[in-house]
Amino acid sequence: MEVKLSAESIADARSWSLPDPRSIIRNRMLQHLSFWVCYVVFFGLLYGSYIDDYYNAFMVELVELPFKMALVYFNMYYLMPKFLLTRRYLEFFVYLLLLTGAIAGLMQYVLLPLLIHPLICPTTCTQDNLTLYRFVKNIVNINYLVAISATIVLLRNWYQHQQSARTLSQDKLEAELKFLKGQIHPHFLFNTLNSLYSLTLKKSDNAPEMVLKLSGLMDYMLYDANAAKVPLEKELNYIRNYIDLERIRYGNRVDISFTEAGTILGKTIAPMMLLPFVENAFKHGVSTETENAWVRIDIKVQDRNLSLRVENCKCGEKQDRSDREMASGIGLKNVRRRLELLYKDAYSLEIEDEPDVYAVHLELDLSDRTHED
């Protein structure tokens, strides 16, 4: 016998799937139902073993359950938000004690003699259960349940506050990082356009090449630099292009040395992290275009560690003022803050301020764990 399936039945079969366990766990109604089932089962078994009558124990728990549920939910959704969570502790405990006493009295002096004793357990539920001692014991037993449910609510409330605080902290961190990036980009662009302007004034043949290099840098800033991390190879290529622009600008007046060592493939870094150190060396070290000026840039990568050393001469009579600007300028100040936010304890930054040389030495751990957050 040949069975043919229609296209609709095949589509229905493909679209059908098992429900997501996470969505089932997050279902609030199912959570509450599971809690009460566990409560009835646990205390039914506990009291059943004590009186050696599991049937009666479970029946008593089921009959008393609606009253206990009413107290628990009234406490969770009214007393706790109105009094406990607003730190009105005395009012909370007074109202809770009065309600617990009312529920315990209702169950012991109304429910027990009129329903439980005659219909469920005429032999085990005796008049001894109507004593004041039994009443106080019932209040204590009911408060066990109230305490358990209140603890769950408090833990959930604490967790939600922690999540909210973490989200707020993350949002503030991202906003600050975006602000710092926004300051770095115009700062760099302004300096580069100044360089291009000086070339055009001199009608240099290198101006078209500089425009092309600047176009590549702008492409990186507009697209790649918006990511949380970029390949280290792209970041270093960005620095190479910047150094090429400075070579075009200064020509033979500045001795520029740039060396790289180590394997950079497969490694990532926060974008625009290294450039401010290189930029400051040119802006504050050789911007006066003094003869015999020099800049040294050395980058080494070993395993997951990056080492950057940038040195420049202190050239020109305006150098003292420039050094003060460099120590508190936008570029270096921002990159310090970005290092603190993104790499925390996974970096070291040393600045050497000698009479004739200014040097920056950065050690950076490129492991992914250092800036996952």
Q: Hey, where are the domains in the chain?
A: 18-130, 172-371
Confidence class of residue 177 from pLDDT cuts 50, 70 and 90? low
- Beta-bridge partner residues of 357: 313
CA-nearest of 271, 270, 273, 262 to 301 is 262
- Over residues 209-252, the pLDDT tens digits come to 777 777 777 777 777 777 778 899 988 988 888 888 888 777 78
How crowded is the C-beta side of 157, counted as CA atoms within 13 Å?
13
User: Length of the chain, please?
Assistant: 373
Say how far apart CA 181 and CA 176 lie, in whole Å. 9
Check pLDDT > 60 for residue 369: no
Check pLDDT > 50 for residue 371: no
State the average pLDDT over residues 165-194.
Answer: 62
pLDDT, mean over the chain: 76
Check pLDDT > 50 for residue 35: yes
Say how far apart CA 279 and CA 283 lie, in whole Å. 6
Which stretch of DSSP H or E encloses residue 365? strand 357-365
The pLDDT score that the predictor gives to residue 18 is 47
Which stretch of DSSP H or E encloses residue 230? strand 230-231
What pTM was computed for the model? 0.52
State the average pLDDT over residues 143-153.
Answer: 84
Check pLDDT > 50 for residue 136: yes
C-alpha triplet 134, 140, 146: angle, nearest 5°: 140
Q: At what angle do helices 132-201 and 275-285 cross, to 10 degrees?
A: 40
Q: Would you tell me how many other CB atoms lie within 10 Å of the CB of residue 209?
A: 14
The pLDDT score that the predictor gives to residue 138 is 76
CA distances from 101 to 61, 110, 229 (A): 18, 13, 61
* Domain formed by 172-371, architecture: 2-Layer Sandwich (3.30)
Check pLDDT > 60 for residue 3: no
